[in-house]
């Protein structure tokens, strides 16, 4: 991420508000690099502006009144669903921890990144039963220990018993995974 020249405080704070609004999952560390200031400066700016820390922003988003997942129980969803508009769109957050990576490289095992996307594709369907019929996926870059994966789902077509769900997963502003999932739901199950 390129370092922006040092800005006057008011301008930096204006840009900070705009950037956090557009990227609510950005960390304080990422902001220090973006604005070329210390972590203490970022935290003071957030405090002055009334912007909560990352964990609180995530909790707030998750607590909003979004649709409820119908096709999976909460423990079956990989990652944390923080926005859900059934049959339209959804967002989930998955933090890569030590148990998700290869011990020698610190790189996340692909099935965890796939599982986040797949479970979101199923969760976004407004039906009691939804199953993945097929998936066309692409890993764009490896994901590392400690990174936060934000998956966004968009339902492109939803007809009786058939839905196409596009997923893009990003770390920060960089795409790391994309997939197109064909989801059959209970209208199609005998």
% of the chain at pLDDT higher than 90: 55
pTM assigned to the model: 0.71
CATH 3.10.129.10 residue ranges of the chain are 65-188
Look up the CATH architecture of domain 9-60: Orthogonal Bundle (1.10)
**pLDDT tens, residue by residue, 70-116:** 788 777 889 988 888 999 999 999 999 999 999 999 999 999 999 99
CATH fold for domain 65-188: Thiol Ester Dehydrase; Chain A (3.10.129)
Long-range contacts of 104-109 (CB under 8 A, 24+ apart): 106/144, 106/145, 107/142, 107/143, 107/144, 107/145, 108/142, 108/143, 108/144, 108/145, 108/147
Work out the average pLDDT over 3-12: 77
The tokens describing 41, both together, are 């400066």
């Amino acid at each position: 991420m390129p370092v922006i020249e040092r800005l006057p405080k008011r301008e930096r704070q204006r840009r900070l508000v705009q950037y956090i609004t557009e990227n609510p999952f950005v960390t304080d560390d990422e902001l220090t690099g973006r604005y070329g200031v210390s972590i203490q400066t970022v935290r003071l700016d957030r405090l002055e502006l009334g912007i909560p820390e990352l964990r609180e922003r995530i909790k707030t988003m998750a607590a909003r009144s979004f649709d409820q997942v119908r096709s999976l129980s909460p423990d079956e969803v990989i990652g944390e669903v923080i926005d859900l508009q059934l049959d339209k769109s959804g967002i989930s957050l998955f933090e890569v921890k030590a148990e998700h990576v290869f011990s020698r490289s610190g790189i996340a095992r692909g099935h965890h990144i796939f599982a986040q996307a797949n479970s979101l594709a199923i969760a976004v369907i407004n039906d009691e039963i939804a199953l993945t019929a097929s998936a066309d996926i692409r890993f764009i870059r490896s994901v590392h220990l400690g990174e936060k994966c934000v998956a966004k789902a968009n339902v492109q077509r939803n007809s009786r018993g058939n839905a196409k769900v596009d997923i893009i997963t990003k770390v920060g502003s960089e795409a790391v995974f994309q997939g197109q999932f064909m989801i059959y739901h209970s209208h199609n199950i005998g």
